[in-house]
Amino acid sequence: MTLLSFALQSVVARPRSWVVALLALGSALLLALGLAMVAGISEGTQRSVIESGAGHFLVYNSQSAEKAVVVTGPTGAPVLMPLPDYPSLETRLRQTPGVQDVVPLEVGMAATFRGNYLDDKLSTARAVARQPPSPERDARLSRLATDLERTLRDVARDADRQTEAFLTADEARMDRAALEETSKPAFWERFRAEPLVALEYLENHVARQVGEGESIDIEYLGSDLSQFARAFPRFEMVTGTLPPEGHRGLLLGHGLYEQRFKLPVAARLDELKRELDRGALLAEDERLRTLVERASAELPDLLARVDAERSDAARAVLQRVLGHAGEPEALWREFLQLDDGNFAARHQVFYAELAPLLPLYRVKPGDTVVLKGLDSLVNGVPLKVWGTYRFRGLGGDTSRVNTLSLMDLVSARYLSGRLSPDMVEEAKRDAQSLGLDFLSEAEVDQLKPATVVEVETVPTRATDIPDFPRARAWPDTFSATELRGGSVLQAAVVVAPDADPARVAEVVVQEGTSASAPLATVDWEAAGGFISGVVGMTRVVLLAFSVMLCLFVVLVSAGTLLLLAQERVGEVGTMRAVGMQRRDVFGSLLMEGLLLGGLGAGVGMALSALLLFGSMGDGILVTDEALQFFMGGPVLMPRLSWGQGLGVWLGVVGVVVVASLVPAWRGSAVPPAVAMRKRED
C-alpha cells in the first residue's frame, strides 16, 4: 500500500506521465475495436459460407488426392474419389446426433458460348414464324427475311469467318455451299413458305460460320436441387422456377447471368450506375470514363444483333430523346456519350424504352445451353435453363458466391465424364456379349462415356432445302435411384442449431472408420476456399497492427518514464537515505507504470464498450455489395466477448509494464550519494 501511495502521488504530481496513460487508452480502444471487427467479419463470413452451399462441414473420401471445397480457386475443382455406397452413408449420417441435413454435392467447371449476332436474328425470326398465320405475321416475316438476306451477304464477304468459327477445310467447303444456296431467290421463296425448316437449315449450316461468340466459363455445384433449396435458407429464385423432381436442368447464378449473359452495353451501364450510386463522379474517375468508352466500343455487337424491325423502333426513340434525326449507329454513339449530367436520364430511357427492343439476354429461362466440361473430355451436354437464383443478402449480383450456378447431380456426372450405374451395367453386358472380361472396379472409375450420340436422318425430297442430322439428346429425366445411387464426390452436412459442428464432424469420421468407410471432413473455412481466406487475412492484418502498436507504445512509454526517472534522481536519493531499499524504489517506479497502464487501458476498454454496445449496437451498415458476403449480409455486427476484452486489457497493461522495467531499474540503481548530490545541484 505504501508503494501504491507513492506511485499515485507521483502520477498526480507529474502530468507528463499521463502520456503513458493516453497511449494505453488509445491502444486498448483500437485493439478492442479491431478485435471486435475481425470477430464480426469472421462470424459473418462463416455464416455466409455455411448458408451458401458448404454447410457446417463437408464430408469426402479420405483417400482423395485433394480436399473438398465448394468455391474453387485458380486450379479448378479438386480431385476427389467417390464416396463408397453413398445411399447407405447418407442414412448413417442422418442418424448421427446433431446432424440436421446432408446434401450431396459435386463441384466443377464448364463452358458455353454466348452465341453470335446471327443466332439472335434467327431466334427473333423463329418466334415470329411460330405465330399463327396472318397477314401481319407474314409481313413481319418478310421484313425479317430481307434483313437476314442482307446480313448473310455480309457474312459471305467476311473472309475470316472460317478461322473465327474453327471450321475444318471439309466443314468450310460444305458450309460455303450452304451459304451460296442462301444467295438464290429460290431459297427466300421457300423461306416464306416454310420458315421453320429454312431457319433450322440456317442455324446448323450457316450461323456457325460466324463463330460461336464469346466463351463463358460456368462454375457450378451439382446437387439435388430441391433439397439444396430447402437446406440453405438464403437460396432464392430470381427468375424462372426450380426444375421439377426428376428433371435435368441448370439454374444460373444471377450474378453470372447479369455479368456475362447480358448484352455487353447494358452490363457496362449497370456497372456505371452502381459506382455512381456510391457517390463516384465520371468527371473525377478515370476508370469510370473508361467504362463509358467500353460501352461505346460494344456498339457494333449491339447493332449486329438487332433486326430491322427493332432497329427502326430504337431509332425512333433515340431521335426523340436526342432531338434530331440520324442513322442508327450515329444516334447510338451520341446517346452513349455519357456524363454526370445526363447519365441518370439516359439510363432510365435505356431500360424503360430501349431495352425492350434489344436482345437483352442471350439466354432466357426455358432456353437450352450446351456445356462442355473443362475438367473432362465430355463435350456437348445440353441443359435447359430453368431460371436464375441468388443467395439473399450476400452481395447481390457483384458477389462471387452469386456467380455459382446449380445443376442436378446427374448432369454434373455427365459433365465430369463419370459412368452412371446404368452405364456400367450396359458396359458389362456389351463386354460379355463379346466374350470379354469386364474391367476391375478401379479401372471402371477411369472410364469415360462416349461423346458421340446416335443420330437419325429424315429422307429429303429434291425440292426441299437440304436437311441435317438430328441428334438424340441426353435423357431429360432421371430416377431417384440414378440421382442417389450414382457416384457422389462430397456432401455438405448441416448441423442442428444447438450442436457443436466440430464435435459432430469428429463423430462422423469415427463412425465412418468403424464402418470401413474412409471419411474425412473439412470445416467451413476450408470449404470456402480462397473466399474464406479473407478471415485469415484480417487476422494477420490485426496481428501485424497489434505488434506495431505494441512496439510504438513500448518505445514512447519507455522514453517518457525514463525521462521522468531521471528527473526524480534527487527524490530517489532522499528515499534511499531515509532507509528505503533498492527493491522498494524499483517496485514504486514499476507501480507507476502499472497504474498508468491499468487506468489508461481501463478507460479505453470502457470507451470501446460504449461504442460497441451503444452507437454500434445495431451493427454497421455495409452498402458495398462486394463486401456483404464477408460481413454475413448488409449489416456488420462487431463482436467482443468479456474474455476478449479482459485479454486486451491485460495485454496493454503488460506492454506498459514491460516498457517500465528499464526506467524503474535505472532509477533504482542510482547510488544514494550520487542521488543526493543531484538533488543539491
Could you tell me the pLDDT band of residue 319, with boundaries at 50, 70 and 90? very high
Q: What tens digit of pLDDT does each residue of 219-232 get?
A: 999 999 999 999 99
Give the pLDDT confidence score for residue 163 in this predicted structure. 44
The mean pLDDT value for 3-19 works out to 61
User: pLDDT of 367-391, one tens digit each?
Assistant: 888 888 876 666 678 899 999 999 9
Residue bearing the bigger pLDDT, 202 or 11? 202
pLDDT for residue 161 is more than 50? no
Q: Would you mind telling me the total number of residues written for the chain in this entry?
A: 681
Which of 47-51, 67-71, 614-618 shows the lowest per-residue confidence on average (mean pLDDT)? 614-618
Residue 258, pLDDT score: 92
The amino acid present at 24, given as its one-letter code, is A
pLDDT for residue 235: 93
- What per-residue confidence (pLDDT) applies to 56? 92
Strand-pair partners of 387: 240, 251
Question: Half-sphere exposure (CA, 13 Å, Cβ side) for 429?
Answer: 6
The three-state secondary structure class of 364 is: coil
* Secondary structure letter of residue 72 according to DSSP: -
At 29-64, the pLDDT tens digits run 888 888 888 888 888 888 888 888 889 999 999 888
Please say if the pLDDT value at position 115 is more than 80. Answer: no
pLDDT at 675: 52
Q: Is the pLDDT of residue 578 over 60?
A: no
Q: How confident is the model at residue 463 (pLDDT cuts 50, 70, 90)?
A: very low
State how far the Cα of 612 lies from the Cα of 639, in Å rounded to an integer.
8
Q: At residue 491, does pLDDT exceed 50?
A: yes
User: What is the model's pLDDT at position 252?
Assistant: 95
Would you say residue 452 has pLDDT above 60?
Answer: no
CA atoms of 590 and 581, how far apart (whole Å): 14
* pLDDT score, position 321: 92
Residue 360's nearest CA partner among 309, 404, 310 is 310
Confidence of residue 400 (pLDDT cuts 50, 70, 90): confident
- Identify the top-confidence range among 314-318, 360-364, 411-415: 314-318
Q: How far apart are CA 205 and CA 468, in angstroms?
A: 8
pLDDT of residue 676: 53
Out of 49-53, 459-463, 583-587, give the one with best mean pLDDT. 49-53
Model pLDDT, residue 249: 94
444 vs 424: CA distance, rounded Å: 8
462 pLDDT exceeds 50?
Answer: no
- Position 35 scores a pLDDT of 84
Please give the pLDDT value at position 171.
64
Express each pLDDT in 232-253 by its tens digit. Answer: 988 999 999 999 999 999 999 9
The answer for residues whose C-beta is within 8 angstroms of residue 556's C-beta and 6 or more apart is 19, 20, 23
- For residue range 624-644, what is the model confidence (pLDDT) as tens digits? 777 777 777 778 888 788 888
HSE-up of residue 401 (Cα within 13 Å, Cβ side):
33
Gap between the Cα atoms of 410 and 248, Å rounded: 7
- For residues 176-189, give the mean pLDDT: 79
Rounded Cα distance between 407 and 318, Å, is: 41
Cβ atoms 381, 405 nearer than 8 A: no
Residue with cell 513500448: 554
Q: Is the pLDDT of residue 130 over 80?
A: yes
Neighbours of 111 (CB within 10 A): 14
Determine the pLDDT at residue 461: 42
Question: Rounded mean pLDDT of the chain?
Answer: 78
For residues 90 and 539, which has the higher predicted lDDT (pLDDT)?
A: 90
Residue 256 has pLDDT above 90, yes or no: yes
Residues with Cβ within 8 Å of 635's Cβ and at least 6 positions away in sequence, in order, are 618, 619, 620, 621, 622
CA distance 629 to 621: 13
Comparing 148 with 321, the larger pLDDT belongs to 321
Q: Is the pLDDT of residue 331 over 50?
A: yes
Q: Are 210 and 164 contacting, i.e. CB atoms less than 8 angstroms apart?
A: yes
Q: Would you say residue 524 has pLDDT above 50?
A: yes
pLDDT of 52? 86
Q: Grid coordinates representing 489?
A: 464426390
* Residue 311 predicted with pLDDT over 50: yes
**Residue 112 pLDDT exceeds 90:** no
Q: Residue 681 CB: number of other CB atoms within 10 A? A: 7
More reliable by pLDDT, 546 or 195: 195
Looking at the predicted structure, is the pLDDT value of residue 473 above 60?
Answer: no
Q: Residue 234 in 3-state DSSP?
A: coil
What's the burial of 186, exposed, middle or buried (CB within 10 Å: 0-12/13-18/19+)?
Answer: exposed
Residue 11 has pLDDT above 70, yes or no: no
Which grid coordinates are listed for 45?
A: 463470413
pLDDT of residue 512: 78
Least trusted range by pLDDT, from 122-131, 256-265, 539-548: 539-548
Of 168-182, 432-446, 468-482, the range with the lowest mean pLDDT is 432-446
Most confident of 94-98, 298-302, 373-377: 94-98
Parallel, antiparallel or unpaired: strands 215-223 and 405-408:
parallel
Q: pLDDT exceeding 90 applies to what percent of the chain?
A: 21
**What pLDDT is attached to residue 453?**
40
For residue 417, give the amino acid letter: G
pLDDT at res. 346? 93
